[in-house]
Amino acid sequence: MSGIAVLAIDGPSASGKGSVAQGVAEALGFAYLDSGALYRLSALAAKQAGVAWRDELGVARIAASLDVRFEAGLILLSGQDVSAQIRSEEIGVGASQIAAFAAVRQALLARQRAFALAPGLVADGRDMGSVVFPQAELKIFLTASAKVRAERRYTQLLGRGELADLAAITQDLESRDARDAARAEAPLRQWPDALLLETSNLSLDQVVEQVLSWWKTRPKEE
């Protein structure tokens, strides 16, 4: 990781950090890490193996040995395309549950750091700037109101042809926020060295432009 430029974007579920991080990475020509995908993959692999999500050590063993490849926009688990499967609401709930386990987070730490390759990396998640890449050159905490985030998720699900209940989505997001903020291991919060970006009234393009502006004007190390 030494000498590799890293831009870390953290934030709650459905804050748009994934789309923003991908847009920024493309603009900069950097690699992109969707850390949430690794937790979703771990939850899916555990389910496929019959390991309960409450089994911390069992899930951690699975996370440590994931056969994962990211190729041409696809996410492959043991050679199978699971790009759509890991985006389901059920797997999202499972990912949030297992992310509270210290053993699971430790199992995925080295795997996440390995994504930091020249010329640079844009990483999104919930602890990118605090735990995984604490020396990142720029740290951003991306957020939006629960109402806006729920509406975004609702629209996303409908666009995929899935049934969606706005009230249920809002309640689920609020529950996830509370669980992520209260966990003992790498709680979700804006750390002092992260810039806050509230996106409720901003378009995706506007958010990407702001992040790129901050990156361009960031203090350079001597």
Pure H helices in the chain? 17-28, 35-49, 56-64, 89-98, 102-113, 146-159, 166-182, 204-216
Report which of 149, 133, 130, 141 is spatially closest to residue 187, judged by C-alpha positions: 130
The residue to which tokens 């919060």 are assigned: 189
Superfamily of domain 5-215: P-loop containing nucleotide triphosphate hydrolases (3.40.50.300)
For 73-110, the pLDDT digits (tens) are: 789 999 999 999 998 889 988 998 999 899 999 999 98
Rounded to two decimals, the pTM is: 0.85
For residue 24, give the nearest of 152, 207, 221 by alpha carbon: 207
- Average pLDDT score over residue span 207-222: 90
Mean pLDDT of the chain: 91
Query: What confidence score (pLDDT) does residue 194 get?
Result: 95
Domain parsing of the chain, residue ranges: 5-215
- pLDDT at position 28: 97
Confidence at residue 184, expressed as pLDDT on a 0 to 100 scale: 75
pLDDT in tens, 14-54: 899 989 999 999 999 999 998 989 999 999 999 999 999 99
Query: Are 159 and 214 in contact, with CB atoms under 8 Å apart?
Result: no
pLDDT at residue 1 above 60? Answer: no
